[in-house]
């Protein structure tokens, strides 16, 4: 199974013809395109319309999550609807199963959230503001846990914007790790079991890592993969 994946396109108003050109070969190279959030620069409607325009010739199924930039001008709901109207499936805790050459491939995804990692992660303690922050991070983890529980497919892929582990943050300033993702996401992936987790958001991180439970994690931030998308070949599980 060939998954094309990219995040953080950060498309400006008016679009960037470069994406359309660079995505032209995707129909023959990949079975599915996964978009890991931050499709736009400022979260403007004109920007997401440009993204949709850029994707017009992609004929393989497209699965997306939104990133934090989609929220900046409070257009996240519109983004969701415009993308879905264009035939792009936007995951926010839902799960979906594609039939790819006779095999079932399940996807679940959500934006995710910040909160930090391991012993340094934010806890449910103190001022209400911090506790709401913690609950928002936990809620994103619960979406993944729930989404994975719904899947009974041969392969299970988790799609995120925020990072579930620190492995793929290496290269970023460690002081911003807590704002780039959180352990709640990694723990949910391990609890539910998955074959691959994809994320973006960490523009200057590293591509490859693992959850504590050994699930491969890939950061597909556009600046990092340094091409239109990263192509993954995932083996079908042996029956």
The residue from 1, 3, 5, 8 that contacts Fe ion (CB under 5 A) is 8
Smaller CB separation from Fe ion, 39 or 189:
39
Window of 43-51, 79-87, 167-175, 194-202 that interacts with Fe ion by CB under 5 A = 194-202
Rounded-to-integer distance, Cα 25 and Cα 6, Å = 15
Angle between helices 76-85 and 45-54 (to 10 degrees): 20
Min CB(201)–Fe ion separation in Å: 4
Binding mask 36-75 for Fe ion (x = CB under 5 A): --x----------------------------xx-------
> Nearest CA to 96 among 109, 113, 82?
109
- How many residues sit close enough to Fe ion to count as binding (CB under 5 A)? 5
Smaller CB separation from Fe ion, 38 or 47:
38
Kindly provide the residue ranges of all beta strands, DSSP E only, lying in 69-114, ordered along the sequence: 89-90, 95-100, 103-110
Min CB(203)–Fe ion separation in Å: 6
Rounded-to-integer distance, Cα 110 and Cα 119, Å = 24
Smaller CB separation from Fe ion, 67 or 93:
67
For the record, the structure tokens of 218 come out as 């890939």
Calculate the alpha carbon distances from 165 to 77, 172, 182 in Å.
28, 13, 7
Window of 5-13, 25-33, 144-152, 212-220 that interacts with Fe ion by CB under 5 A = 5-13
Q: Which helix (H) or strand (E) holds 20?
A: helix 17-22
Helices (H) and strands (E) in the chain, counts: 8, 11
Site for Fe ion in 9-38 (CB under 5 A): 38
Min CB(223)–Fe ion separation in Å: 8
Smaller CB separation from Fe ion, 38 or 190:
38
Binding site for Fe ion (CB under 5 A): 8, 38, 67-68, 201
């Amino acid at each position: 199974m060939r998954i094309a994946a990219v995040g953080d396109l950060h498309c400006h108003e008016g679009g960037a013809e470069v994406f359309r050109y660079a995505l032209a070969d995707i129909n023959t190279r990949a079975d599915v395109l996964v978009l890991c959030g931050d499709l736009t620069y400022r979260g403007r409607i004109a920007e997401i319309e440009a993204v949709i325009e850029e994707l017009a010739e992609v004929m393989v199924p497209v699965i997306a999550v939104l990133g934090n930039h989609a929220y900046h001008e409070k257009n996240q709901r519109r983004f969701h609807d415009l993308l879905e109207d264009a035939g792009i499936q936007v995951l926010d805790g839902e799960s979906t199963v594609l039939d790819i050459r006779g095999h079932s491939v399940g996807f679940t995804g959500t934006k995710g959230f910040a909160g930090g990692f391991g012993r340094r992660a934010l806890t449910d303690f103190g001022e209400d503001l911090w506790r709401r922050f913690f609950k928002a991070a936990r809620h994103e983890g619960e979406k993944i846990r729930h989404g994975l529980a719904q899947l009974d497919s041969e392969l299970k892929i988790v799609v995120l914007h925020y990072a579930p582990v620190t492995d793929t943050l290496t290269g970023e300033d460690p002081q911003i790790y807590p704002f780039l993702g959180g352990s709640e996401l990694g723990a949910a992936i391990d609890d539910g079991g998955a074959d691959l987790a994809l994320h973006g958001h960490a523009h200057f991180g590293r591509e490859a890592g693992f959850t504590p439970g050994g699930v491969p994690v890939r950061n597909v931030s556009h600046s990092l993969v340094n091409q239109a998308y990263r192509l993954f070949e995932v083996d079908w599980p042996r029956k």
